[in-house]
Amino acid sequence: MAGELTQGEKETLAAINVGASALSFAGSAFIVLCYVLFRELRKFSFKLIFYLALSDMFCSLFNILGDPGKGFFCYTQGYTTHFVCVASFLWTTTIAFTLHRTVVRHKTDVEELGAIFHLYVWGTSLVMTIIPSIGDGYGKAGAWCLVQTTPRATKVLQFITFYAPLWGAILFNGFTYFQVNRMLNNATRMAAGMSDRQQQTDSRVDMKAMNRWGYYPLILIGSWTFATLNRIHDFVEPHQKIFWLSFLDVGTAALMGLFNSIAYGLNASVRRTLQEKIDLWWPEWFRKWLPGFAMLRGRAHESEMISLKVSVEQ
């Protein structure tokens, strides 16, 4: 039933937001902790994942705060949440760009682009955060302090500064992973016609990893589709709220950090490192009872994100 949300419905949405954001915070904090504790993970590829998890962690943290009231704390939550959430999906584009540059274009200079990545992500996020300040765009928006949903001008600013770069990132990631996937498919077909079994094995490993990366763009799509639909509906019918759409909007968007931590963070390098630490820290009898320990051991040989290099014989 459409109409203004009741107080009970608002409280339900706030509870869903806090619960889902807590899961995302835990998942993101785990990846950040792994990066800080385990020196062997501090490679360039995982460093990008670290900054993604760091952005997700702070995005979830400020979501958990809920509505801090009016005034300074409300503006603080609005600015900070907008900044780190935009930074989160921008970091996914740097990961996609890195894969494309190394796999498709065969460049080895990605580590030299670290400073440019930081300027691009933090600079763009800052600009997208400042723009809604025009016309006092931040304030109480439902149960949170974000870019206000009224008047109509601020809704337009929200589309420009958040949803436009979001869907731009989704399109960029999708196109990039499509090209990487096509490149690896070609390499696999060429390896299949060769007698070099090692190359065939390497290609199968790369394709196995690519099958996982193919889902990466779906994380942003799944996390923000309902939010986008809800914003469009709110723009067209500002006084006709749909509870189930708001429910899906809040729940899926707040889980983005958890999805990212699982898909990007729990890669083969992290699983291998955790398995090695478990080998050192826990007795044999205890390790046998750990769920998934055998799976961790069995997958220890997989590539980290990819070899980031495809050798194709001409």
Those residues whose C-beta lies under 8 Å from the C-beta of residue 43, and which sit 6 or more positions away, are 269, 304
The pLDDT, as a whole number, for residue 252 is 94
Report the topology of domain 9-298: Rhopdopsin 7-helix transmembrane proteins (1.20.1070)
Q: Look-up: residue for tokens 């001409």?
A: 314
Q: Look-up: residue for tokens 């194709």?
A: 312
For the segment 145-162, the average pLDDT, to the nearest whole number, is 72
Q: Which one is predicted more confidently, 198 or 232? A: 232
- Give per-residue pLDDT as tens, 206-263: 555 555 666 778 899 999 999 999 889 988 887 788 889 989 999 999 999 999 998 8
The pLDDT, as a whole number, for residue 105 is 86
Structural tokens at position 252: 């899926």
Instruction: Mean pLDDT check: name the lowest of 38-52, 122-136, 236-250, 275-289.
Output: 275-289
Q: Which one is predicted more confidently, 170 or 292? A: 170
pTM above 0.85, yes or no: no
Residue type, 45: S
169: exposed, middle or buried (Cβ count in 10 Å: 0-12, 13-18, 19+): buried
- Give per-residue pLDDT as tens, 180-194: 888 877 766 766 666
Contact 36, 65 (CB under 8 A): no
Q: Bridge partners of 280? A: none
Question: Using the 8-state DSSP alphabet, how is residue 70 labeled?
Answer: S
Q: Is the pLDDT of residue 300 over 50?
A: no
Q: Is the pLDDT of residue 112 over 50?
A: yes
Percentage of the residues of the chain whose pLDDT score is greater than 90: 34
Phi then psi for residue 241, to 5 deg, are -80, 145
Instruction: Mean pLDDT check: name the lowest of 9-13, 66-70, 300-304.
Output: 300-304
Percentage of the residues of the chain whose pLDDT score is greater than 70: 69
The pLDDT, as a whole number, for residue 103 is 84
Contacts 24+ apart (CB under 8 A), 233-239: 234/149, 234/155, 235/152, 235/155, 235/159, 237/2, 238/149, 238/150, 238/152, 239/3, 239/4
What is the distance between the alpha carbons of residues 42 and 299, in angstroms, rounded to a whole number? 20
Q: Is the pLDDT of residue 10 over 90?
A: no
For the segment 95-124, the average pLDDT, to the nearest whole number, is 91
Q: Given phi > 0 = left and psi -120 to 50 = alpha, else beta, which region is 135? A: left
Q: Is the pLDDT of residue 306 over 50?
A: no
What is the distance between the alpha carbons of residues 69 and 230, in angstroms, rounded to a whole number? 24
Contact 242, 233 (CB under 8 A): yes
The pLDDT, as a whole number, for residue 291 is 53
What is the distance between the alpha carbons of residues 268 and 300, in angstroms, rounded to a whole number? 6
**DSSP H helical segments within the chain, as ranges?**
7-37, 44-64, 72-99, 114-130, 152-158, 164-192, 197-213, 216-236, 243-254, 256-260, 268-281, 284-287, 293-298
Phi then psi for residue 70, to 5 deg, are -95, 170
